[in-house]
Amino acid sequence: MMNNNIVFKRALQDHGPAIHQLIAEVLGGYGIYHVRPEYVDQDIDDLDTNFFNNNGYFWVVENGVGTLIASVAIYRIDDHTCELRKMYLKVNEQGKGIGRMLFQTAIAKANELGYTKMGLKTNSKLQTAIAMYKKYGFEFDAISECDKKADCDVSMFKML
């Protein structure tokens, strides 16, 4: 999928370090990366097992010169429920419709994979993202203590 030199592509294991760097950069800008436990992003270290071979998917987005600027993934929770994960977009790329494209791509793929419910976990400091989730019909849900320790204090879901 392309839009103005923006390329959506299937993530490869080689993208792992760049995805980790993207997460650090985006969350660091909100002052929340330093509290993120290392285990939270371990799923990136084996994309095949955690996503592609588990009825999920993982995309990266590159700009016209091949720099990774965004990511988004679908992670299987159970046969009917998936989780939107690793949706990150560099700050200087925001406001261009890329976030909306990430989101729409993930929802379309979740439907294609047969899911009927999508959940997500996020941090309350990410107000722009939360507003977009609400715009697309996500509702607030209870958050677990485990998620709070992982830097998430907001849980949302949407029936697909």
- Over pLDDT 90: what percentage of the chain? 68
Query: How high is the pLDDT of residue 12?
Result: 97
Q: Hey, what are 35's tokens?
A: 């509290």
Q: How confident is the model at residue 4 (pLDDT cuts 50, 70, 90)?
A: low
pLDDT band of 151, cuts 50, 70, 90: confident
pTM: 0.91
Q: CA–CA separation, 48 vs 57, rounded Å?
A: 9
Q: Is the pLDDT of residue 143 over 80?
A: no
Does 99 score more than 70 pLDDT?
yes
What CA–CA distance (Å, rounded) separates 36 from 146?
A: 12
Higher-confidence residue of 146 and 61: namely 61
Work out the average pLDDT over 67-77: 97
Helix ranges restricted to H, 3-153: 16-29, 47-50, 98-112, 127-135, 145-149
Residue 2 has pLDDT above 50, yes or no: no
What domains lie within the chain, and their CATH numbers? 2-159 (3.40.630.30)
Name the least confident of 29-33, 39-43, 82-86, 143-147.
143-147
